[in-house]
Structure 1
Amino acid sequence: MPKYFFHVRRNDVFEEDPEGIDLASPELACEEATAAAREIVAERIRTGDPANGGAFEIMTEDGALVATVPFRSAIHLD
């Protein structure tokens, strides 16, 4: 099963995910990133921090970029 790394980019800061997670497909990696982004944004709202900004850069073990998931895309404001 492939391993995906969920690195976080906030403005000029890049935080590497050193562990990664084994998932069956890139689609599941995007779903996992979206769920995690929702949790991050919810925590920011609870603590009164700005909820905008930041994104997951999902990469494979060999460093290939699979997708970028902006945190704000995890929130639906319909």
Structure 2
Amino acid sequence: MPRYYFHVREGGVLGKDPKGTKFANLDDAYDYAVKAAREVIAEVGLANDVIDVTRFEITAEDGTVLREVLFRSAVQLD
């Protein structure tokens, strides 16, 4: 099973995921990132704080960015 890394882009800073997580495919990794983004948004909202994180960058083991999950696209506001 391939290992995917979920780096976090916060402002101009990239926080790297040092361990990654194994998933059967990229679609499963993407679904995981969307769920995680929703959880971060909920936690920050409950704390009445500001979300500085803009996205997850899902990468392969060699560092290639495979997909991005924008936090603003993880929830519907309408």
Which TM-score applies when normalising by structure 1? 0.93
Aligned equivalents of 2:31, 2:24: Cα separation in 1:
12
Answering whether residue 75 of structure 2 is matched by residue 56 of structure 1, we say no
Answering whether residue 26 of structure 2 is matched by residue 26 of structure 1, we say yes
- Tell me what 1:4 maps to: 4
Aligned pairs, number: 78
Given that 1:8 and 1:57 are in contact with CA atoms closer than 8 Å, whether structure 2 keeps it comes out as yes
Relative to structure 2, which stretch is displaced further, 52-61 or 17-26?
52-61
Runs of 4+ in 1 over 4 A off after TM superposition: none
Aligned equivalents of 2:19, 2:52: Cα separation in 1:
25
Aligned equivalents of 2:39, 2:52: Cα separation in 1:
13
Aligned equivalents of 1:77, 1:52: Cα separation in 2:
18
Given that 1:53 and 1:72 are in contact with CA atoms closer than 8 Å, whether structure 2 keeps it comes out as no
Gaps of 5+ in 2: none
Aligned equivalents of 2:6, 2:25: Cα separation in 1:
14
Aligned equivalents of 2:53, 2:18: Cα separation in 1:
22
Gaps of 5+ in 1: none
Quote how far apart the aligned CAs of 1:52 are: 6.3
Aligned equivalents of 1:52, 1:62: Cα separation in 2:
27
SS in structure 2 opposite 1:62?
Answer: coil
